[in-house]
Amino acid sequence: MTAMYDCIIVGAGPAGGTAAYHLAKRGRSVLILEKEALPRYKPCGGGVSPQVAEWFDFDFTPAISLKTNTLRFTWKLEDPVEAQLDKTEPIWMVRRDVFDHFLVQQAQTQGAELRDRTEVSGIEFKSDHWQVNTATGPVAGRYLIAADGAKGSMAKWLGFKDRKRRLAGALEAEAAAQVTSPQVHFEFGMVKNGYIWNFPKADGYSIGIGTFRGGEPQDFKSILTEYAASFGIDLKTTRQYGHPIALWDGDQPLHTQNAVLAGEAACIVDPMTAEGIRPSIFSGMKAAEAIDQALSGNGNALEQYTEIIAKEWGSEMLWAQRLASVFYRIPGIGYKVGVKRPTAPERMGQILCGELRYSDVATRALKRLSGGLIGGPSGS
């Protein structure tokens, strides 16, 4: 007879690893299914808010490549603005293969079971549990957490067909280099409806480009190549990875029969900055709490999970979406009246670090942007 797990988690990213850790720590039997072999490469800038440390009881140091509290912004490679975040915790720079695997290993120390190299081929609900079909045979779980990312099939299989999600495009590259000055770089003028990022690691840079409002196609590869050249990096010798990002686009149900969505499968990526790791970890933690309560007999726990994500994350993302819709429509003005304001870079750093919420700053920021739009030059 097939073993029955309390919860099967599909996907071993930050959401899946977090959920597995918190469920296993509560004494629940947990199985993580991951189609890739761990550790596995994942294209990602790898900037993590130090706030996530508050949600765990272990030290993340082994999983952090370096920390930095210096931000640098440019407009078409010029007009630089630098900010030193002396009052905040430094932002973590991580490599996702190391970081994600570390989280899963922490879950394993609590008793979670991992089966990597195991792709899910389908799911079936059997009266009171889920049967999850894989190439190596079916497994059974009372509850399911779908944490298989923007491209995963779980949400569709679970019946979330008409989801609210805005798919953004991104292209990223990892470049080996000697990092002499560990700054987080943001470039706003070279790409429409988004930005370019360059995040330092101990042994190189994660350079990427993304658009977050749609619009006409752009030649990401040539734009990114030109940008990388300004750092002395030749992207022709570096492999580049394109991937979709599932941005938050409004509250929606994240639960169904004995199952919830978490991480990018739940479309909780910040539509202003495309920050995905912190919201994924937050959703994984809340998903674990909900499944634990459901296993204890709370019939409303999964519905409450949807409500909690809407209230504690979605309400902030509404402000982020409003800011993004104005800022990326008029980026020249946004840079001038937003980024170049003396306090603005520090505010952005505090938001990235989880020390400020969008609701704390958005009303005034939108007023300034709108004022710039009425009286300012074209932002093209």
CATH of the domain at 125: 3.50.50.60
Regarding whether 309 and 332 lie in a shared domain, the answer is no
Whether residue 141 contacts residue 6, with contact meaning beta carbons closer than 8 Å, is answered with yes
CA 300 from chain centre, in angstroms, equals 27
- Can you read off the two tokens belonging to residue 17? 């690893």
Q: What is the mean pLDDT of the chain?
A: 91
- Can you read off the two tokens belonging to residue 283? 């959703």
Regarding whether 301 and 279 lie in a shared domain, the answer is yes
Q: What is the DSSP string of 192-240?
A: TTEEEEEEEETTEEEEEEEESS--S---HHHHHHHHHHTTT--GGGS-E
The percentage of residues in the chain with a pLDDT greater than 70, rounded to a whole number, is 97
- 78 lies in a domain? no
pLDDT-based confidence at residue 318 (cuts at 50, 70, 90)? very high
Regarding whether 273 and 231 lie in a shared domain, the answer is no
Task: CATH number of the domain at 211, please.
Answer: 3.30.9.10
Regarding whether 306 and 219 lie in a shared domain, the answer is no
- 267 lies in a domain? yes
How many other CB atoms sit within 10 Å of the CB of residue 357? 14
φ/ψ bin of 312: left (φ > 0), alpha (ψ from -120 to 50), beta (otherwise): alpha
| pLDDT at residue 380 tops 60 | no
Q: Is 119 helix (H, G, I), strand (E, B) or coil?
A: coil
Question: Pairing mode, if any, of strands 194-201 and 184-187?
Answer: antiparallel
- 181 lies in a domain? yes
Regarding whether 57 and 193 lie in a shared domain, the answer is no
Indicate the residue among 223, 246, 269 that finishes a domain: 246
Whether residue 303 contacts residue 256, with contact meaning beta carbons closer than 8 Å, is answered with no
Regarding whether 177 and 314 lie in a shared domain, the answer is no
161 or 116, which is more confident? 116
Query: pLDDT tens across 28-83, in order?
Result: 999 999 999 999 988 888 999 999 999 999 999 999 999 999 999 999 999 999 98
Whether residue 300 contacts residue 288, with contact meaning beta carbons closer than 8 Å, is answered with no
pLDDT of residue 50: 93
CA distances from 193 to 197, 324, 339 (A): 14, 9, 16
99-103, 151-155, 186-190, 203-207: which has the minimum mean pLDDT? 203-207
**Rounded to 5°, angle at Cα 116 from 163 and 261:** 20
Q: Is 109 helix (H, G, I), strand (E, B) or coil?
A: helix
What is the C-alpha separation between 331 and 307, in angstroms, rounded?
34
Regarding whether 101 and 35 lie in a shared domain, the answer is yes
Indicate the residue among 222, 246, 270 that finishes a domain: 246
pLDDT-based confidence at residue 373 (cuts at 50, 70, 90)? low
CA 249 from chain centre, in angstroms, equals 14
What is the C-alpha separation between 1 and 169, in angstroms, rounded?
44
Regarding whether 355 and 223 lie in a shared domain, the answer is no
The parent domain of residue 206 ranges over: 166-246
Indicate the residue among 246, 272, 297 that finishes a domain: 246
Regarding whether 254 and 224 lie in a shared domain, the answer is no
